[in-house]
């Protein structure tokens, strides 16, 4: 029992920093007004950040590209509503936000068409 508790304690030490880091990034996005129009996993005025990550994750140069669109704004890529430029975001801030958004790719929401090929597990 004591050993079990020690394992749990060790696990929480390993997990806490990653959670705290993701949370810090979310707070950072909030402080830059991004969450007025975006959410991590739900479309609002703008696309969810997870959807953005999934569209660009495999593109070379995605981080620089997104950092640019974050500062300059964007139109016509996701729908009728344009994203205004965000001059309160510095180049360094934009690079951090872009890296964080891209890190959201590859989490649960993989399209069924991609996940099922060759990976079928027979029912038993």
Q: How many residues bind ligand HEC (CB under 6 A)?
A: 27
User: Considering the rule CB under 6 A, would residue 103 count as an interface residue with ligand HEC?
Assistant: no
Instruction: Give me the least distance between CB of 78 and ligand HEC, in Å please.
Output: 3
User: Considering the rule CB under 6 A, would residue 77 count as an interface residue with ligand HEC?
Assistant: yes
Q: Which span sits near ligand HEC by CB under 6 A: 4-12, 14-22, 73-81, 105-113?
A: 73-81
User: Considering the rule CB under 6 A, would residue 42 count as an interface residue with ligand HEC?
Assistant: no
User: Considering the rule CB under 6 A, would residue 76 count as an interface residue with ligand HEC?
Assistant: yes
For residue 10, how many other CB atoms are within 10 A of its CB? 10
Taking a C-beta distance cutoff of 8 angstroms, is the pair 113, 83 a contact?
no
User: Considering the rule CB under 6 A, would residue 27 count as an interface residue with ligand HEC?
Assistant: no
- Which one, of 48, 60, 33, lies nearest residue 108 by Cα? 48
For residue 122, how many other CB atoms are within 10 A of its CB? 4
**What's CA 73's distance to the chain center, in Å?**
18
User: Considering the rule CB under 6 A, would residue 74 count as an interface residue with ligand HEC?
Assistant: yes
For residue 107, how many other CB atoms are within 10 A of its CB? 12
- Which one, of 85, 95, 103, lies nearest residue 64 by Cα? 95
Q: Under the phi-then-psi rule, with left for phi > 0, alpha for psi from -120 to 50, and beta for the rest, what region is 107?
A: beta
Selected binder of ligand HEC within 40, 62, 66, 105 (CB under 6 A)? 66
**Residues at the site binding ligand HEC, with contacts judged by CB under 6 A:** 32-34, 36-38, 45-47, 52, 66, 69-70, 74-79, 81-84, 86, 89, 97, 101
């Amino acid at each position: 029992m004591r050993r079990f508790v020690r394992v749990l304690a060790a696990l929480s030490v390993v997990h806490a920093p990653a959670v705290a880091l993701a949370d810090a990034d979310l707070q950072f996005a909030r402080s830059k007004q991004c969450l007025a129009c975006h959410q991590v996993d739900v479309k609002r005025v703008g696309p969810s950040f997870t959807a953005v990550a999934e569209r660009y994750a495999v593109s070379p140069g995605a981080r620089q590209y997104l950092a640019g669109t974050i500062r300059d704004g964007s139109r016509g890529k996701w729908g009728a509503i344009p994203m205004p430029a965000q001059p309160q975001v510095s180049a360094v801030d934009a690079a951090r936000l872009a890296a964080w958004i891209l890190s959201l790719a590859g989490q649960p929401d993989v399209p069924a068409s991609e996940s099922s090929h060759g990976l079928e597990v027979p029912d038993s």
